[in-house]
Amino acid sequence: MTYLAVEISTQPVPAPWNAQARLSFNGDVACVHVDPALSEPLQHRQIQQAARQLESMNPAQIGLRGNWHIEQQWTFAQAFSTPKKPDAIQWCDDDNQATLQARFEALAFTRSLVNETPEDLSPETLAQRAADWLMGLAPNQVSVKSWVGEALLEAGWVGIYNVGRGSDRPPVLLEVDVNPTGDPNAPVAAALVGKGITFDSGGYSIKSSEGMLDMKCDMGGAATVTGGLGLAMLQGLNKRVKLFLCCAENLISGHAYKLGDVLTYKNGTTVEIVNTDAEGRLVLADGLMAATESGAPLIINAATLTGAAVMAVGNQYNALFTMDEGLRETFLAYAREENELLWPLPLEPWHKEMCPSPFADTANSRPQKGGGAGGASNAAGFLSRFVREDGRGWVHLDLAAAYNGNANGQQPPGATGQGIRTIARALLAG
Instruction: Give pLDDT, residue 117.
Output: 97
pLDDT of residue 430 exceeding 80: no
pLDDT of residue 2 exceeding 80: no
Question: pTM for the full model?
Answer: 0.97
Digit-coded pLDDT (tens) for 179-195: 999 999 999 999 999 99
Rounded Cα–Cα distance for residues 341 and 407 (Å): 18
Tell me which DSSP letter residue 208 carries: P
Instruction: Give pLDDT, residue 1.
Output: 56
Residue 188: CA atoms inside 13 Å, Cβ hemisphere, count?
Answer: 21
What domains appear along the chain, each with residue ranges and CATH number? 4-94 (no CATH), 118-428 (3.40.630.10)
How many CB atoms are located within 10 Å of the residue 314 CB?
A: 12
Digit-coded pLDDT (tens) for 141-153: 999 999 999 999 9
**Active-site amino acid positions:** 207, 281
Confidence label for 85 from pLDDT (cuts 50, 70 and 90)? confident
In this prediction, residues 62-74 reach a mean pLDDT of 95
Task: Calculate what percentage of the chain has a pLDDT beyond 90.
Answer: 91
Of 14-23, 38-47, 157-166, 185-194, the one with minimum mean pLDDT is 14-23
Instruction: Give pLDDT, residue 3.
Output: 85
Residues with Cβ within 8 Å of residue 203, at least 6 apart in sequence: 163, 166, 250, 251, 252, 256, 257, 276, 277, 279
Confidence label for 52 from pLDDT (cuts 50, 70 and 90)? very high
Rounded Cα–Cα distance for residues 87 and 3 (Å): 13
Confidence label for 244 from pLDDT (cuts 50, 70 and 90)? very high
Rounded Cα–Cα distance for residues 420 and 425 (Å): 9
Instruction: Give pLDDT, residue 348.
Output: 97
Under 8 Å between Cβ of 131 and 84: no
In this prediction, residues 380-393 reach a mean pLDDT of 96
Instruction: Give pLDDT, residue 27.
Output: 86
CA 403 centroid distance within chain: 9
